[in-house]
Amino acid sequence: MGLAIKVTIAPMLRALPLALALAPLALLAKPSQPQTQDEIFLAARAAARAGDYDKLGKYEARLQGYLLQPYVEAWQLLPRLEDAAAEEVRAFLAREQGSVLAQQVRKEWLRALGKKQQWDLFRAEHPLLAGDDNEIACYALQARWQQKDESAPAEVRAQWYAPRELPEGCVPLAETLIAQGRFTSGQVWERIRLLLEAGAVSAAWRTAEYLPPSEALNRGRLFAVAAGAQRHLDDKKKNLSPRAARELTMFALHRLARTDPPAAAGYWDRKLRARFSTGEQGYVWGQLALHAARRNLPEALEWYGHAEAAGAQLSEEQLAWRMRASLRQGNWGEVKITADTMSPLQRNEPAWIYWQGRAALALGNAAEARTLFARIAGEHHFYARLAGEELGLAFNIPPKGYTPTAEEVAVIARTPGFQRALALYRLDQRPESVREWIWSIRGMDDRQLLAAAEFARQNEMFDRAINTADKTLALHDFSVRYLAPYREALGENARAQQLEEAWVLGLVRQESRFISAIKSSAGAAGLMQLMPATAKWVARRMGMQGYSWAQVTDTGVNAALGTYYLRHVLDDLDGNPVLAAAAYNAGPGRARRWRDTRPLEGAIYAETIPFNETRDYVKKVMNNTMYYAAMLGGEVRSLKARLGIIAPRGGNDRAMAQRETGQEEAQ
């Protein structure tokens, strides 16, 4: 499927020791003393992580001229940034100018300079930083404030209303606003609510220290509510006159609603509501509605109505889930009302454009629906495909817009950032490799991106090839966007399990981007990202002799285990690929529970999956399947037909869930 361009690797990359390409073997051998430069580099990495800087210095001396030597130099410099002379840091930045490593060191140096309030140096270096982060942005505001820039303190509001710990650099500015009365106690409470909603109880307590004495929050009671919301709500004698007491009760209702919205609503009866202001009632109804919608409960829309009647200002998340609750109930009028309530930015997200179009169609506004569908139908995502089908557009793979020349790919191969990315990739230093790659493709046009994608494909960096080809805007190569390495193993096992090959490839593209040795932070491994318990269970069911976990990254073994499990899940879930994809990501029990009491359109089921990761996963797997089916020349079915209708929950769902053998937890 890919191009067959041959590239002569640049001398610098060609000179890398043979052990670089054989890094996995070198790692297995574990020599007592590192011999090759690759081994020395990995040993230096281990020394840096262990904080053994004497050993690190010795390794660094042995890596002069090595492609990745600047990393070792940076590992020595980073722990000393607070005390290092400016000349030393600037010398490193000059040597590594233009590299991602220089940007990482500059970012850490700016943090150190801000912490020490060395504002002259900070102001000189800050403009040279590509990108920013919250902490450095706060120090930049503080640097402006030191120069009497009165607009700086006001700009801390964006940080104040973020549901996370306030960066250290913004604390003095926030305290200034509070002391000057420009942040009221009401705004302190708003931040406390945001933090409590996010589960950041300790950060909420630290924010509560800014409250006036008359509104002080009791630390013990706050953490008691976090630990046992229902126990707090059961106390009928509590005095709700102080605002702090009402806020604690609202927090308890929110906390309980996360796991049991009807139980929380049961406490929120007329008698309790009467002790709260209209605005407070609106806030509580909004929280109850959000969590009911996330659990696909029919009460959600009614509770949203109560929140709206009380004048609540719903957040973007609450509006998104109001839209999903409306879809779940087939209430197209409410879909339109919710879309009209959204901000222009949110309303113009592809998902909501599509569902606005569907609402217009259902409400008899065909011309408006066509206009909405046409806005996204030319794109290549899940909702673009559905919109195209509503317009009756045939599904075609976009023609190849450009084929990079051998010289264009060779230019990529000679670029230091790509050389480092490849070297780190082969040494299984994946996070660093990805950072080098992302930094190196920034600002590239479509032709350069396709050349970089081809370089990645040739070097079996399949994830980088796919992700890079995915970024083109006008010139595309879908044979790289939808690579199919290991197709022989995946296709053979798919056929053996009577699974559609395109669907299996679409799932693997989403799971691992065809990186056979990849391991997730959760412990899943291989092409089909199998968890240890799942792989062991499947191997036993298959009668696989001599299976061990070490085999799971073997492409043939992983494909056999993964497709067998996928077949098992598919059979267990009505043969519906949408349910099976959801189950593969989040567990069969959850996929069942997310069904409705009535038949549900597959696209609505996908949109109303409560887990953000799984919702995105299912859409992408199904969209991937469309492209692989077209590229493999198989049956071209519409996406809507593939999504199908999700059967309602059955009475035996609980019994089936009890028969699960641990796969849900594993996946």
Phi-psi region of 309 (alpha: psi -120 to 50; beta: other; left: phi over 0): alpha
Look up residue 17 and give its DSSP letter: -
Among 135, 134, 125, 76, smallest CA distance to 103 is for: 125
Q: Count CB-CB contacts under 10 A for residue 295.
A: 18
Look up residue 8 and give its DSSP letter: P
d(CA 255, CA 252): 5
> Would you say 409 and 458 are in contact if contact means Cβ atoms under 8 Å apart?
yes
Counting Cα atoms < 13 Å in the Cβ hemisphere of 652 gives: 4
| Lookup result for tokens 């361009």 | 5
Structure tokens at 639: 């996406």
State the amino acid at position 120 in one-letter form: D
List the alpha helices (DSSP H) in 209-277: 219-227, 229-234, 243-259, 261-267, 270-273
d(CA 135, CA 118): 15
By the 10 Å C-beta count (0-12 exposed, 13-18 middle, 19+ buried), 655 is classed as: exposed
d(CA 455, CA 461): 8
Q: Which of 316, 511, 601, 665 is catalytic?
A: 511
Q: Count CB-CB contacts under 10 A for residue 266.
A: 11
d(CA 54, CA 73): 13
CA distances from 494 to 103, 529, 532, 550, 636 (A): 45, 16, 21, 23, 18
Q: Would you call 511 a catalytic residue per the annotation?
A: yes
By the 10 Å C-beta count (0-12 exposed, 13-18 middle, 19+ buried), 557 is classed as: buried
Length of the chain measured in residues: 667
- The three-class DSSP label of residue 88 is helix
Identify any residues that bridge with 519 across adjacent strands, giving them in sequence order: 525
DSSP for 176-198, written as a single string: HHHHTTSS-HHHHHHHHHHHHHT
CA distances from 50 to 43, 53, 54, 80, 316 (A): 11, 8, 11, 15, 43
Phi-psi region of 403 (alpha: psi -120 to 50; beta: other; left: phi over 0): beta
> Would you say 138 and 152 are in contact if contact means Cβ atoms under 8 Å apart?
no
d(CA 263, CA 230): 9
Among 90, 99, 108, 112, smallest CA distance to 69 is for: 99
> Would you say 300 and 325 are in contact if contact means Cβ atoms under 8 Å apart?
yes
DSSP for 506-572, written as a single string: HHHHHHTTT-TT-B-TTS-BTTTTB-HHHHHHHHHHHT-TT--GGGGGSHHHHHHHHHHHHHHHHHH
d(CA 318, CA 209): 29
Among 470, 463, 446, 451, smallest CA distance to 627 is for: 470
Active site residues per annotation: 511
